[in-house]
Structure 1
Amino acid sequence: MPTPALRGLHHAAIICSDYARSKRFYAGLLGLRIVAEHHREARCSWKLDLALPDGAQIELFSFPEPPPRPSRPEARGLRHLAFAVTDLDASVAALQAGGVEVEPIRVDEYTGARFTFFADPDGLPLELYEVSAGSL
């Protein structure tokens, strides 16, 4: 049976309850480098991209009154785990061949990269994020 050929962790996304406090914690206390910060007007939300020394990133999100996590994205806490792949279509096909349901492929509005979501057996949201082979 084919596997999706995961290449590493691309980013972890976290939804916080207090954006300013979390930004101070991750960028100030932990010393993660700020890569980009965007206010997403349509969602009344902030997105902060933070770099780890090995190249992996943390995406910090704010949303108005996020509920505690019952099981799905857009709730306070860990949003999802993203794995870097160099061939998204082949990776999706491998997951589907294994009986895993995969959401339709989308395009990141800031980077132009393609990505999709699926869930682990416990419903944890996971992402495949397409990167070039040279970027690993």
Structure 2
Amino acid sequence: MLAIDGYHHVSILVTDLARAKAFYKNILGLKEIPRPPFDFPGAWFAVGENGQQLHLIVHDGETRRAGGIDTRDGHFALRVADYEAAIDWLSGHGLKYRAKPDSITGFAQIFLLDPDHNIIELNALRAEEA
């Protein structure tokens, strides 16, 4: 059996690198980190303090979704410290989201789309557990 230590990174496809970088820096607050000089455009971001990363890859393929927020579609999840503060932040930036404060998962969830319709879940402890 493999001895998995944890996630290293998640890669997602984007069409407009500047727009995607602005979203992940300014809306989600991720820190851009150095990226090797690949022969295709992209960007890397640190996720938290434990070495996890998010990689943006510019790609013109046919793999992106065009619809709205589908919570059962492929997505990645980021843990946030304060659910209500996250709701306020997203609302203040005019972003559409789907909130599930009493999700059956046992933690509160918020689903949103990045500018390329990649689905992102933000989750947090429920208010009574925080």
When normalised by structure 2's length, the TM-score is 0.43
Q: Per residue, is there more strand in 1 or in 2? A: 1
TM-score by length of 1: 0.41
Larger RCO (CA under 8 A, 6+ residues apart): 1
